[in-house]
Amino acid sequence: MEKEYGAVTRRGLYEADDLMAMGQDDNSIICSIDKDLLQVAGHHFNFVKNVYRIVEEEEGNRLLYSQMLTGDTSDGIPGTNGVGPKTAEKLLKSVSSPFMMYCVVLNEYMQKTPLEEGEISRVDQKFLERIVHLVRTHARLLYLLRSEDDSWEAPKQEEV
């Protein structure tokens, strides 16, 4: 691949999908069957299904937040109880910004996550802190890095 097509290879600290996301730009195509890579905006080609597509930024964000809701067993992320792909799509359908998608995910986790010992209610500070920590941990595990110094951060509310 390197000799014939100029493929870039690297060994080291990053997973292959992160490296592919880091390399994505206007002049590249991610060639993969890994659906997780569809969270990265740009050109994509699934060589097994012979499908080419362009993923827009909002669509990529929607996939990331959908994965937070549904979980990803290959990454050890359980998601929220009773939320599959169709429910996640329905929940995220009416919002377009990363901040609002994040709010939808937080709300679902708050509604569906059982209370633990010492947590009095779903508005208990201890419970809320646990949920925010859980969602942020899942997001950081699911998010594909776009550069070596990148990391997932909770989105901030947009100014109106």
Query: How far is the C-alpha of 12 from the C-alpha of 95, rounded, in Å?
Result: 37
pLDDT of residue 159: 64
pLDDT of residue 2: 81
Radius of gyration, alpha carbons of the chain: 18
pLDDT of residue 3: 87
pLDDT of residue 121: 92
* 45 contact partners, CB below 8 Å, separation of at least 6: 29, 30, 31, 32, 51, 52, 53
Query: How far is the C-alpha of 48 from the C-alpha of 6, rounded, in Å?
Result: 21
For 3-54, what is each residue's pLDDT tens digit?
888 777 777 788 889 999 999 999 999 999 999 999 999 999 999 999 999 9
Query: How far is the C-alpha of 140 from the C-alpha of 105, rounded, in Å?
Result: 14
For 88-124, what is each residue's pLDDT tens digit?
999 999 999 999 999 999 999 999 999 999 999 999 9
* 98 contact partners, CB below 8 Å, separation of at least 6: 61, 65, 155
pLDDT of residue 5: 80
- Percent helix, strand, coil in the chain (nearest 5)? 45, 10, 45
The conformation of residue 155, written as its DSSP 8-state character, comes to P
pLDDT of residue 160: 53
Q: Record the pTM.
A: 0.89
Looking from the CA of 86 toward its CB, the CA atoms found within 13 Å total 1
